[in-house]
Amino acid sequence: MNDNPTRRQFLKTTLAASASMPFMKTSFASNSVTDLDVRIDRIYCFRAIYDRPRIIGGNSGYKLAGGQRHDWMIALFGNNGKIGLGSCPRYGRPTPSDFPVGKTIGDLLGKHLAETADKVGTTAVWDLAGKTLGKPVYELLGGHRKPEGIQVYDGGIYMEELVNRDAKSAYRNPNAPYGPRPSWKDIFMEAIDVSREQGHNFIKVKIGRGHLHLDRQAGNIQDAAVLRFIREYAGPDLRIGVDANNGYDLDDTLWLLENHGDLNLEFIEEMFPEDIEKYQQVKDAINSKGLKTLVADGENWKTAYDPGVPEIINAGVIDVLQGDMRMFQIEGILAEAELAKKAGHGAQIAPHNWGCEFAWYVMIHMGNAIPHYYGAEHDPGSIRVPVMVKDGYAINNGRCFASEAPGFGVHLDLDLLEKVEKVYAF
């Protein structure tokens, strides 16, 4: 690819073109957001801790995700008394010059955003805009609340059977019906039961044990054994996707499809680093066997215009595009969706999300603004100090509805703010 715009150039292009996006008509086309003159009086960053319903093991690249996760949050205090909330992006820490007090919503969603988005992100600005206008964010993006809700899946079925149980037991409830000294099968029974208690009927299972934990053949065999046991235990109605985190190669992927295609996998995610020719071979294998399995990838892209990314999208070898929600931010996911639409291959959007509750809320709103939206990845957890209070977002039978409250439907409990860790304020 000859043209390699920087992230700032990418955002300038996205903002300039956004008025033409069919799912953005309400916002930029009418200038209702970029003209808002509400000024930011104060910025406060804090850390919220969430406890997962069980300890999560590793994937093909690391050994343990653990039993808790941390959300790094930004609160924007507007001069109208409203507070915008958003997750920190996956970049360096902002300074007052990056995200200065005194800028308006219009500034931050306009030129200033294009110059500083590497550090400041946009979700808190959109939340403040929605609360100012009294509208949910999906309406600001030109969307509507889909009556069927948004498809969601539990992304937390990791390699718990490989965790050292003496140090970090993956099985936490000795009084559960599975037995006091569980086998690896008991551990996955618990994982599926907990997922269903959360309202899920669709899970993503980590594979790739042969990349880090076991030798290649043994790892592949254990991957298949886990998948087959989950299918046996959960039955045919549980929807299953898999994610190798680039822990497979082409031969491993073709082996999985050839020998275990009967598992009816919904998607195979990040099997190996993106390669158009190799992915075409995978697509050919899927089609030759008459499978409905989709190919998913893209979580490690920094923008939809990274070198080679538009070519991959245009080639049509990826069915589900997974730009990371915190990395891409709202504007980047919309740009990815527009590229997919223009490519004309029917690719759908499912932003990657792991370890961030607020990004999950944003993804549900994005699903109501993008017609060709596949679903939202959920990392279940309960906030330890309820400094943020959400409206809605319950999962029922694998679907979630966006809050109809202004912004993202999450408000800050100021009385509890001093009980969580302050990261910075200016």
pLDDT tens profile 326-360: 988 898 999 999 999 999 999 999 999 998 999 99
Report residue 294 as tokens. 């989709």
| Chain segment 103-155, per-residue pLDDT in tens | 899 888 875 454 444 455 789 999 999 999 999 999 999 999 999 999 999 99
Under 8 Å between Cβ of 208 and 247:
yes
DSSP H helices, 261-356, are 276-288, 309-315, 325-343
Does residue 202 or residue 179 have the better pLDDT?
Answer: 202
Report residue 192 as tokens. 């599926």
Report residue 122 as tokens. 């946009």
Return the domain boundaries, the chain.
7-136+421-425, 150-414
pLDDT greater than 50 at residue 1: no
pLDDT greater than 70 at residue 90: no
Q: How many CB atoms lie within 10 A of CB 6?
A: 12
Parallel/antiparallel/unpaired status of strands 150-157 and 376-378: parallel
Split at pLDDT 50, 70, 90, the class of 93 is low
Q: What are phi and psi of 139, to 5 degrees?
A: -70, -35
pLDDT, residue 101, reads 82
Distance of CA 391 to the CA centre of its chain: 20
Report residue 393 as tokens. 């977002």
CA separation (Å) from 268 to 246, 247, 257, 297, 309?
11, 12, 10, 9, 19
Under 8 Å between Cβ of 117 and 88:
no
pLDDT, residue 122, reads 87
| Chain segment 367-407, per-residue pLDDT in tens | 999 999 999 999 999 999 999 999 999 999 999 999 999 99
pLDDT, residue 100, reads 65
**What superfamily does domain 7-136+421-425 belong to in CATH?**
Enolase-like, N-terminal domain (3.30.390.10)
> CATH topology for 150-414?
TIM Barrel (3.20.20)
Find the mean pLDDT for residues 25-43.
71
